[in-house]
Amino acid sequence: MEAEACEIGRLPEELLCAALSRTSPRDACRAAAVSQAFRAAADSDSVWACYLPRDLPALADGELPTAPPPPRKKDLFLRLSDSPVLLSDKLVSMWLDRETGAKCYMLSARDLFIVWGRGDTPQYWTWIPLADSRFSEAAQLVSVCWFEIRGKIHSKMLSEDTVYAAYIVFKLNEHFHGLDYPVQEASVSVGETSLTRKVCFQGYEAEDAVPENYRPNRLFPMHRVRRRNRRAVPHGENVGHPQKRADGWMELELGEFFNQGGDDGEVSFSLTETKGGNWKSGLIVQGIEIRRKKSG
């Protein structure tokens, strides 16, 4: 191994940088543990400049340090892949996928089209402040018999030749009901191609949302509250259900798509339930997240 390390050390650093720049950020970090020569190349600006997107969107003021000297390219990549940064309009956040450098986004609830959710119909949707998000507020469903949520992003903002998936990020408050049936329809459209799937905000293992200070009484016994908030409605196969995230929110996959190199158009997302007849409430929407779809 020492002989191999010695041979590697004789290679020009420019050659090592050229080789590493054709790999991935993960490979570069692993290569840094091989030898001192690889470590110097793996930390160089010329390598990490290849992993950083050349067309980063304009960021909001204060999202990145501006005081000289400028950060190393590796430090900039690690910052952008560690946590989201707000774009200039503060309605969209962005970060980089740490494995590939692909650009990922979240569209805030304010950046989405929510029927009756503009703020002038508080009997249907209202806006509440957020303390655990980069965005200042979320949309809260008060009461509707059907709803429609839509969002879109320009394909040029995304990384080329990358498989993405879109997720609605949400919570359910203690008064949620009516979100288990009928199931919702999710759609992802790229150009003339549109894929739809059935999804449901509630899974079979959804926790009962009973207020901590609730006490059963003759008119509203506990079992009635539980039945209102948790019904084991059979949905059949191929219905997507939510997953819990590390940040405490829930996410529900709307669908996936391939952003081919050179595409110039919009990617649209929607989540609808317009059959009506079943009143719904208690949904809190942070936004729609678009990130690289990991294989496996």
- The pLDDT score that the predictor gives to residue 16 is 79
- The pLDDT score that the predictor gives to residue 206 is 41
* Tokens (6 digits) for 97: 């996928």
Look at the pTM and tell me if it is higher than 0.85: no
- The pLDDT score that the predictor gives to residue 274 is 87
- The pLDDT score that the predictor gives to residue 262 is 64
- Distance of alpha carbon 144 from alpha carbon 277, whole angstroms: 10
DSSP strand pairing (113-114 vs 281-292): unpaired
- The pLDDT score that the predictor gives to residue 52 is 93
Instruction: Judge contact between 240 and 253, C-beta under 8 A.
Output: yes
User: How many CB atoms neighbour CB 293 within 10 A?
Assistant: 15
Please list the rounded mean pLDDT of every run of 10 residues in the chain (296 residues): 55 79 85 76 88 91 80 91 95 96 97 86 92 92 92 95 96 89 93 92 52 37 38 63 94 95 86 86 96 86
Give CATH for domain 103-292.
Answer: 2.60.120.260
User: How many CB atoms neighbour CB 205 within 10 A?
Assistant: 8
Could you give the count of Cα atoms lying within 13 Å of 89 in the half-sphere of its Cβ? 8
DSSP 119-152: SS-TTTEEEEE-SSSSSSEEEEE--BSSEEEEEE
| Residue at token pair 């996936």 | 256
User: How many CB atoms neighbour CB 35 within 10 A?
Assistant: 20
